[in-house]
Amino acid sequence: MKNIVLLPFVIILSACTGTGDVLESSTVVIEEKGVESKAVDAIVRDESNFNWSDLTKPFTQANNTTQTSVKAQALAELKASDTNFTLYFSYDGTDIGDKATQEIIKHANFMRDNPAVTLRLEGHADERGTREYNLALGENRALSVKEVLSLYEGLEDRIKVVSFGEENPMARAHDESGWGKNRRVEFIYK
């Protein structure tokens, strides 16, 4: 059994409480049962070169690549699960029906299972109404979706709401079929 006398430790502690005497000894006495005691220099100068970029660069790149591929794979699985990434709304409406709620729950479960994923909800409106009104309507639609998602703990801070109003139409037709496609909220994952 080795008993190590921590002479430098005692000297350092006494130096902290002492009058500021200079530390002159840096040896440790090692005693082994049945073996002669020997003194070993406790402070050994490290001559090796160390560069933080050597340590962090490969790890960071590998970690980011792994994290990105995991996110991409999870998102591909979500898309393959017949989840809708666009919710449509009635004329001048922001209400979310039962079918839309079920789709939002799929997205909430996905975000809960993938904590590194963030979501941008893009609200849109059809061309009827003023530009300002349609921007507000698009925002209110996206906020309605966010409200349902926020029922799940920890998701609210990872969701951003953006409104495009009538600026980015999905359909160019000036009839109910075109307008119905433009009244929407899109789920954009990052």
CA 125 to chain centre: 30
Q: Given this model, what pLDDT does residue 20 score?
A: 47
pLDDT band with cut points at 50, 70 and 90 for residue 12: low
Instruction: Supply the DSSP symbol for 81.
Output: T
Q: Given this model, what pLDDT does residue 188 score?
A: 93
Q: What's the fold here for domain 82-189?
A: 60s Ribosomal Protein L30; Chain: A; (3.30.1330)
Question: pLDDT at residue 162 above 70?
Answer: yes
Q: Taking the CA atoms of 164, 168, 172 and 178 in sequence, report the sign of the dihedral they define.
A: negative
Q: In angstroms, rounded to a whole number, what is the distance separating the alpha carbons of residues 87 and 66?
A: 31
Specify the range with the lowest mean pLDDT, choosing from 4-8, 100-104, 145-149: 4-8
Q: Give 111-153 pLDDT, tens digit per residue.
A: 999 998 999 999 999 999 999 999 999 999 999 999 999 999 8
Each domain of the chain, given as residue ranges in start order, spans: 2-41, 82-189
Which is more confident, 34 or 176? 176
- Beta-bridged to residue 87, according to DSSP, are 185
Q: Taking the CA atoms of 19, 21, 27 and 30 in sequence, report the sign of the dihedral they define.
A: negative
Q: What is the pTM of this model?
A: 0.62
Q: In angstroms, rounded to a whole number, what is the distance separating the alpha carbons of residues 187 and 190?
A: 10
Q: Give 48-87 pLDDT, tens digit per residue.
A: 554 544 444 444 444 555 666 777 888 888 877 778 899 9
Q: Given this model, what pLDDT does residue 60 score?
A: 45
